[in-house]
Amino acid sequence: MQDPTTPSKPPSSRQPSSLACVSCRRRHLKCDALLPACTRCQSTNAECHYVRSRRGLRTKPSNQSPQRFDDQMLTADDFATWLNATTLATDLEADPALLHGLETPPVWDIPCLQDDTTTTAWPEPEPLATVTPEIAYDPMVQLYYQNFHRSHPFLIPRKVLHSSLRHRIPPYLTGIMRYIGAHYYPDVRFKEEFRRVAYTVLSDTTRDGFKVQGLLLLAIIEHAHGQEENAHLKVQLAIDLSLELGMNRASFAPINSEGSSVLAESWRRTFWELYVVDGLLAAMRDQSSYRLYSYKADVRLPCAEELYNSANHAKYTNSERSQTKLNLGLVMEVNRSLDIDLEARVETVDAALVSSLMQIPSSQDSTSFDSSNIDEMLFQAEMINYLALIYLHHPRSSMRFASFHARTWCTRLRICNNNPPPTDLDLHSQKFLRAADMLSNLVTLPSTIKSRTPFFTCALAMCVIVHTAACLVMSAPEKVESLKTRIQLSIGGLNMLGKSWPLAKMVRQQMVNMYQEVGLR
């Protein structure tokens, strides 16, 4: 006698259906799409219901009231199954470079959304217990690697997610990747779907390098949401745990990588990313809480991005351009000094920053490499160096006396004084104005701005502040018009970043209000 829990096979004469019930779809099982209940759900006494096809997910908004995420609506899990079934749909503009070297998605994902006209036989699904989800093909993880990972490449490369190493990744880290990836998809509902799982990192009791990575990612995202205090708290928790584990020591990576050179490099990158984020958040707050700058670290600097993302298991070598990570700390050290005569030290740090900029290939020089595919680490190195120049010269510049309020979520620079601003720019003003010019030029790069780091939001805010101050002290009409054009360029960049990150949208409005309050039109 047949086991009543074993589903009957659909009649061989029945052609595959483009429709699958939610229960079968979530379990990656074939479905004969019978109504009112499919054969599998009937045999297991399971609730059987269907969702209306939303192929493309680009339907025009209706005039009806918004619908909720309920059992009759498309859920994040349904969306993941749908998008996997389309073999990484072109609607999301998949980057072919990310697919290079990966195998075809498992056949058990494919049947759910075949066209009604297809006559291809359904493949026999694997037993559910033996099916391992292919996280490398998860649509939100794909969006994470296409966009965010390029600017913050410290998790293991996407290619490695297709290896046995993926079994070491805790569920909360996968949840964080999905949560971040959802920021690059226009339907905002998916962010809320994945947010809860992402934040389970806070309750996880395991204290290891993966938890440091999770806390660091949340800190970046909370900053990108304008949650300054929360971001600062997450970074401090990540620093505490990293120092407790000894991630600042060269021995940590090989000991905790189980012989994997890729994972060892990921640990090194995690520490240096934490070092950079700690510095950027400190600079934007009050330039007095850069903890990691005072700790000794003998961790090797990260290797070149191309070598890392290729998942090449050869020995990784250092990248000299990563030395720029140390420059921001030098600036803050000078700015916190109580010494009376600092001019010699300022000149030394200024020389170090300019030297760093000359040693790395400029992303603004199209002859140095393919400018349509910008190396985000080169971009970030330039951004940090230009920001450091602004932070270095602003306290010593006469232009800081321009009379307007510039305190925002991104900076606590105080450019407000009732004294009349000078009509001539001193050397420090000229230097940090030039740095702001070069920083704003990064908006014009040909590659998409959505792949820029969320910290670019605050870099653009600094450009607007500097150029607005310059407008108030410049007398030549042509100079003022040029500065206004640069302000508009930075505002445009903030507008684009605001499509993914709430902070950019909020800061853009702050900058527009500031610009109008000082009487510029």
DSSP assignments along 311-347, one per residue:
T--SPP---GGGGGGGHHHHHHHHHH---S--HHHHH
Q: Same domain, yes or no, for 165 and 257?
A: yes
- The pLDDT, as a whole number, for residue 209 is 96
Give CA–CA dist 479/456, Å, rounded: 25
Q: Are residues 418 and 301 in the same domain?
A: no
Give pLDDT, residue 108. Answer: 27
When computed from its CA atoms, the radius of gyration of the chain, rounded to whole angstroms, is: 26
Q: Are 294 and 409 in a shared domain? A: no
More confident site: 31 or 409: 31
Helix extents (H) in 201-297: 209-224, 228-245, 252-255, 261-285
Clarify whether residues 381 and 309 are in a common domain: no
Residues 231 and 356 in one domain: no
Given a contact cutoff of 8 angstroms between Cβ atoms, the answer to whether 438 and 486 are in contact is: no
Share of the chain above pLDDT 90, in %: 37
Question: What per-residue confidence (pLDDT) applies to 412?
Answer: 62
Judge whether 27 lies within some domain: no
Distance between CA 313 and CA 329 in Å, rounded? 33
Q: Is the separation of the CB atoms in 401 and 417 below 8 Å?
A: yes
Pair 266, 396 in one domain: no
User: Same structural domain for residues 156 and 216?
Assistant: yes
Peptide bond into 123 cis (omega under 30): no
Exposed / middle / buried, residue 333 (Cβ in 10 Å: 0-12, 13-18, 19+): middle
Q: How far apart are CA 89 and CA 59, in angstroms?
A: 16
Report if residue 4 sits inside a domain: no
| Residue owning tokens 């450091």 | 388
**Predicted confidence (pLDDT) per residue in 77-105, tens digit:** 444 443 444 333 333 333 333 333 333 33
Distance (Å, whole) CA 79 – CA 379: 33
Residue 164 sits in the same domain as residue 284: yes
Query: Is 232 domain-assigned?
Result: yes
Q: What is the mean pLDDT of the chain?
A: 75
Higher-confidence position of 317 and 118: 317
Specify the pLDDT at position 14. 46
In a domain, 87, yes or no: no
Q: Highest-confidence range of 133-142, 332-341, 354-363, 489-498, by mean pLDDT? A: 489-498
Give the mean pLDDT of 371-376.
66
Q: How many domains does the chain have?
A: 2
pLDDT level of residue 365 (50, 70, 90 thresholds) = low
pLDDT of residue 159 exceeding 90, the answer is no
pLDDT of residue 177: 96
pLDDT bucket at 136, cuts 50 / 70 / 90: confident
Examine the domain organization and report whether 351 and 239 are in the same domain.
Answer: no
Does residue 56 lie within any of the structural domains?
Answer: no
Residue 278 lies in a domain: yes
Global pTM exceeds 0.85: no
Q: Is residue 488 part of a domain?
A: yes
Tell me, yes or no, whether 257 and 158 share the same domain.
Answer: yes
Assign 3-class secondary structure to 91-151.
HHCCCHHHHCCCCCCCHHHCHHHCCCCCCCCCCCCCCHHHCCCCHHHCHHHHHHHHHHCCC
Q: Shortest CA distance to 382 belongs to which of 151, 153, 146, 226?
A: 151
Amino acid letter for position 35 = L
Q: 355: which residues sit within 8 A by CB, 6+ positions away?
A: none
Q: What token pair was written down for 429?
A: 């003003």
Per-residue pLDDT at 171 exceeds 90: yes
Domain span holding position 192: 134-313
- For residue 159, give the 3-state DSSP assignment: helix
**Is residue 75 one of the residues assigned to a domain?**
no
What are 251-271's pLDDT values in tens digits? 999 999 988 889 999 999 999
Q: Worst-scoring range by mean pLDDT, 197-201, 381-385, 422-426, 499-503?
A: 422-426
DSSP annotation string for 220-236: HHHHHTT-HHHHHHHHH
Q: 263 and 140 share a domain?
A: yes
pLDDT of residue 373: 63
Residue 521: pLDDT band (50, 70, 90) is: low
Between CA 131 and CA 129 the distance in angstroms is 6
Of 197 and 119, the structure prediction assigns the larger pLDDT to 197
Question: Mean pLDDT across the stretch 301-308?
Answer: 79
Q: What is the mean pLDDT of residues 308-320?
A: 57
384 and 454 co-located in one domain: yes
CB within 8 Å of 263: residues ≥ 6 apart: 156, 165, 168, 256, 257
DSSP, collapsed to helix, strand or coil, labels residue 165 as helix
Cα dist from 254 to 165, 241, 260, 300, whole Å:
15, 18, 8, 12
**Which of 108-122, 207-221, 336-350 is modeled with the greatest confidence?**
207-221
Q: Give the model's pLDDT for residue 43.
A: 75
